[in-house]
Amino acid sequence: MAGLRTVAEFYTTYFNAFIAVYLWVYTIYLLICCLGGAFRVTGKRRLADLHNVIDHEYYYPISILVPAYNEEATIVQTVNNLLKLEFKRYEIVVIDDGSTDKTKQQMLDHYPLARERNRPIRYQVACHPIHEIYSCRMGEVLITLISKENGRSKSDAVNAGINAATYPYVINMDADEILQKDSLRLACSALLEANNVVAVGGNIKISNDVRFKDAMPVSGGMGKNAVVNMQILEYSRGFLGTRVFQDLLNANLIISGGYGLFKKESVIAVGGFDPVSKGEDMEMTVKLQQYYRKKRIPFSLRFVPESVCWTQGPASLKDLRAQRLRWHCGLIQTIYKYRKMILNPRYGIVGLFMFPYMILFELLSPVFMILGLLSVGLSVALGSASVLKVLTAFLIYVLFGLLLTAVTYMDNRYCPQQKLGFAELLKVLFYGLLDAFFFRPYIALVNFTAFFKYKKVTKAKWVSPVRVKISEEE
């Protein structure tokens, strides 16, 4: 027994030290990212206020792709809001991926769509067969409805949309979202800044408790659903912090599948979206990084936090668990598929820094968190660590997290006219604590199970979560 105790004490001493360093490195990195992101976004806002940014005559024609599988509850609302965009030339392509509900019928009932008999489709990327194509014009905007065989994945539907898209740039979004009416104009600012931009990511915000008018938020804040509120804080940290920092390094590995602008010829050059991937957004982004870095072609992947898309966050732990399982399995898939890029100097900062970061602080973080909790508990049981020291260290970590959360949330506010007062700050602090003590451990546990449910999740078909209409004012 003495020998076993010695081994346990040796293990806990060194593993606890590792976990402490791991958490502090991760926290400080996120804090630097979020502070840098906040200063950059605030600086851009002030510059815009000072110079009253001129609305230029230059633009890039864009095809907006809306893959839809059983989206009857929100598809018409989504298209109606897309028709309100402030942009000179764009089209809307809705891809009904063999829905078993009334998605297709909702489109036919609400728009004067007529079936096209002779529209040529050039299959430049692989997808399941397209059966019918309908189209109509609403003002200057062409709406196309594609009815196709179910491809069991969002990627297959997006590929079909790419094949049917008219314009050289495509946007990939979900069927429950609202693009702010200025989002395309702001995203295209990145295209104007350089001629080698192949993809632009936008800022994703949670729409559950936000009210909209003419595709713009007019009121919002945290509601009564704790699951949604903690996602609001999580999205603020993730999009304002790390992606802004990675944008400076041209090292973004995720152009979100909820809202991403891509140069169509670049997507075609890499073979389109992978229909097998459960994390098609990350897989495409990494594939573009690999393609251009391997061929040594100048390129950039941009992130524009001012360009906003609103999406529904899962409102129940059940839907949240399903979403995060799929995300983590997609992460496992992508890292394994592109494992040859890891620590490979040929891929620059992506291979030498971003991939190790994703492995240590994203892929393996649930493993380290669970093992760390077990190790600390064992240390306390063995008497090698006092409860007071453990609680003090954890309290400092939590306070750092609250600072990070408050900075990003306050700068990532819902709408320009909204004042975030003391009551909202108290909510942020309360849910920040709930996030630290419940949400993140819960997500870590869910992600940990992804290693054991990988085969089941990756073989599952595309299933849309429960959707509800977004609140809009007349």
What secondary structure does DSSP assign to 21-88, as a single string? HHHHHHHHHHHHHHHHHHHHHHHHHHHHHHHT----S----EEEEEEESS-TTTHHHHHHHHTT---S
CA gap 175, 15 in Å, rounded? 45
DSSP H or E stretch at residue 459: helix 440-459
What CA–CA distance (Å, rounded) separates 230 from 431? Answer: 6
Q: Which of 258, 262, 260 is nearest to 270 (CA)?
A: 262
- 237: nearest Cα among 416, 11, 32: 32
3-class DSSP state for residue 223?
Answer: coil
- Contact call for residues 282 and 331 (beta carbons, < 8 A): yes
Cβ-contact 236, 405 below 8 angstroms: yes
pLDDT for 429: 85
Quote the pLDDT of residue 33. 75
271 to 90, 125, 171, 295, 333: CA distances (angstroms): 24, 6, 17, 16, 17
**What is d(CA 36, CA 379) in angstroms, rounded to the nearest whole number?**
37
Please choose, from the candidates 341, 325, 233, 240, the residue with its C-alpha nearest in 3D space to the C-alpha of residue 285.
341
Give 10-residue mean pLDDT values along the chain (474 residues): 59 73 79 68 50 54 96 94 94 96 96 91 94 95 96 94 96 93 90 90 90 85 88 82 82 90 97 94 96 96 90 92 94 96 96 94 91 80 72 77 74 56 80 88 94 90 69 64
How many Cα atoms sit within 13 Å of 147 on the Cβ side? 19
Q: 287 with 299: CB under 8 angstroms?
A: no
- The pLDDT score that the predictor gives to residue 366 is 93
pLDDT of residue 35: 66
Query: CA separation (Å) from 391 to 117, 346, 370, 396, 436?
Result: 69, 44, 17, 9, 13
Put the strands of the sheet holding 62-68 in their side by side order: 114-115, 130-138, 141-148, 90-97, 62-68, 169-173, 259-263, 197-206, 300-311, 178-179
pLDDT at 383: 74
Per DSSP, the three-state class of 97 is: strand
